[in-house]
Amino acid sequence: MKKAISILILIWGIASFAQDVSVTVYNQNLGLVKETREVQLKKGHFTLEAADVAARIDPTSVHLKLNGASILDQNFEYDLVSRERLMERYLDQEIEVFTENGDMFTGTLLSASGSQLILQAKDGQVQIVSPDAVRDVRFGELPGGLRTRPTLVWSLIGDKSGKQNAELSYLTQGMTWHAEYVAVTNDDNDNLELSSWVSIENRSGATYKDAKLKLMAGDVQVVRGTPLDGRGITTMEMAQKAAPAFEEKAFFEYHLYTLQRPATLKDRQIKQIALFDPATVNAKREYIYQAQRDPKKVKVNLVFDNDDKAGLGIPLPAGKVRVYQEDSDGSLEFIGEDLIDHTPRDEEVRLVVGSAFDISVERDMTEVKRLADRVRDESFRIKLRNHKDEDIEVTVVETIWGDWEILESSCDYTKKNASTIEFKISVKADDETVITYRVRRK
């Protein structure tokens, strides 16, 4: 009778699926899972199991809150059933082996290396069977300790019998999220319609049904003890375009986005959900030439302020921004993309979308004079040619290392920091502008 009662309580413990699930997903391949489960307590010593937890759980982060019982010990059992593990467990025990040509061998398993199975029959005869010839292997029963799924096991002392809600929480790897933006600009590039999606990837080894979903935006420090693996993602779910359902708030030094409806996160799935309503922001196009990054090209930037006045003013999580422009036939054409970092409100957002086709540039060092061992004068000439049918302004960014002084310049410049100066150069339509400057470096 005692054995039957123990088996009943163990099965109840395994079957205590989560009633209430909350998942917080971080940018750093990390998820926090919080569950409420109804469990059956027993007075005295008993065992509780949870077999439907994430396969990539961090067992050191597990916390079980259970009134009416004291935890003696907690174990994470991940010795899973496989052919190799069954063979190892059945060494020196009897098994039955069936081959492809219909032969059957029965005997004690002496060895189960990758190249052969060695059996000893009851009469003492030793038989060697190639694994390639094996069709089926039969074992007496599942050896103790092997699991079909990773399982948390607790040994507890209960004060009394009865049902009780247990709160389980743990961290797991294999979960991450990132934002993706779509920006549609007009012909003049003075407006951008910006919309955003979040992509949530679940590779934790568990499915979370009807979970309360939160996304933490920010660089949360995580100490890694072991490298992460790279399991593939096999399915993808795209949410229908609808009004966004995330509520944003500041949380510690980060930002927390809470989905206002339950969501199911399936294992090996990408789920995409709208982050905020499309917003139209005031933008401007800028041409930037920085020889240290690209000596032959002028980059095209789209710039806007993330503030209420510009039409936005919300914290923007890090992500990729894809920019489109509408053609005369009404179709959208892709014109470039860039990555943005976590951007608080009231900060500038700068998107580098490509290189200007109709703006040419030449930069030359025209003269070098060595005045001493560590002192020399350098002269530079930069030619900007505008093949467009409109006037433009190009920001020329020059990086100068060491201790330096501008001796001569053909136009005004701004010293941005200890190693950078900027020129704002106007170039008329179908015309050329040349700037020169001389610097003394020490």
The residue among 323 and 51 whose pLDDT is bigger is 323
Confidence of residue 432 (pLDDT cuts 50, 70, 90): very high
What pairs with residue 69 in β-bridges?
158
What tens digit of pLDDT does each residue of 65-76 get? 999 999 999 888
Interatomic CA distance for residues 50 and 46, integer angstroms = 14
Q: What is the pLDDT of residue 295?
A: 95
Enumerate domains of the chain plus CATH numbers. 2-19+35-79+147-172 (2.60.40), 83-138 (2.30.30.100), 175-353 (no CATH), 359-441 (2.60.40)
What tens digit of pLDDT does each residue of 1-37 get? 333 323 233 333 433 456 799 999 999 899 999 999 8
The answer to whether residue 94 scores a pLDDT higher than 60 is: yes
Taking every pair of C-alpha atoms in the chain, what is the biggest distance, in angstroms? 103
| Direct distance between the N- and C-terminal alpha carbons of the chain, in angstroms, rounded to an integer | 92
Report, as an integer, the average pLDDT of 250-267.
Answer: 94
The answer to whether residue 131 scores a pLDDT higher than 90 is: no
Q: What is the pLDDT of residue 6?
A: 32
**Which of 78-92, 136-150, 363-377 has the highest average model confidence (pLDDT)?**
363-377
Strand, helix or coil for residue 11? helix
Long-range Cβ contact pairs of 322-327 (< 8 A, separation 24 or more): 322/180, 322/181, 322/182, 322/183, 323/183, 323/184, 323/185, 323/192, 323/351, 323/353, 324/182, 324/183, 324/184, 324/185, 325/184, 325/185, 325/186, 325/187, 325/189, 326/184, 326/186, 326/187
Q: What is the pLDDT of residue 36?
A: 93
Kindly write down the DSSP assignment for every residue of 331-356, as one continuous string: -EEEEEEEEE--B-TT-EEEEEEEE-
Report, as an integer, the average pLDDT of 323-328.
Answer: 92
Give the whole-number percent of the chain exceeding pLDDT 70. Answer: 87
The answer to whether residue 59 scores a pLDDT higher than 60 is: yes
The answer to whether residue 57 scores a pLDDT higher than 70 is: yes
Interatomic CA distance for residues 104 and 99, integer angstroms = 6
User: Among all chains, which residue has been given the structure tokens 């986005």?
Assistant: 257
What tens digit of pLDDT does each residue of 194-229 get? 999 999 999 999 999 999 999 999 989 988 654 434
Give the whole-number percent of the chain exceeding pLDDT 90. Answer: 63
The residue among 152 and 116 whose pLDDT is bigger is 152
What tens digit of pLDDT does each residue of 162-185 get? 999 999 999 999 999 999 999 999
Of 3-7, 154-158, 369-373, where does mean pLDDT reach its minimum?
Answer: 3-7
Residue 271 in tokens: 């789920």
The answer to whether residue 130 scores a pLDDT higher than 80 is: no
Contact (CB, 8 A) for 219 and 317: no
The answer to whether residue 137 scores a pLDDT higher than 90 is: no
**Which of 105-119, 144-158, 327-341, 420-434 has the highest average model confidence (pLDDT)?**
420-434
Strand, helix or coil for residue 133? helix
Q: What is the pLDDT of residue 13?
A: 43
Confidence of residue 230 (pLDDT cuts 50, 70, 90): very low
The answer to whether residue 392 scores a pLDDT higher than 50 is: yes
Q: Decide the pairing of beta strands 431-441 and 375-386.
A: antiparallel
What pairs with residue 179 in β-bridges?
198, 319
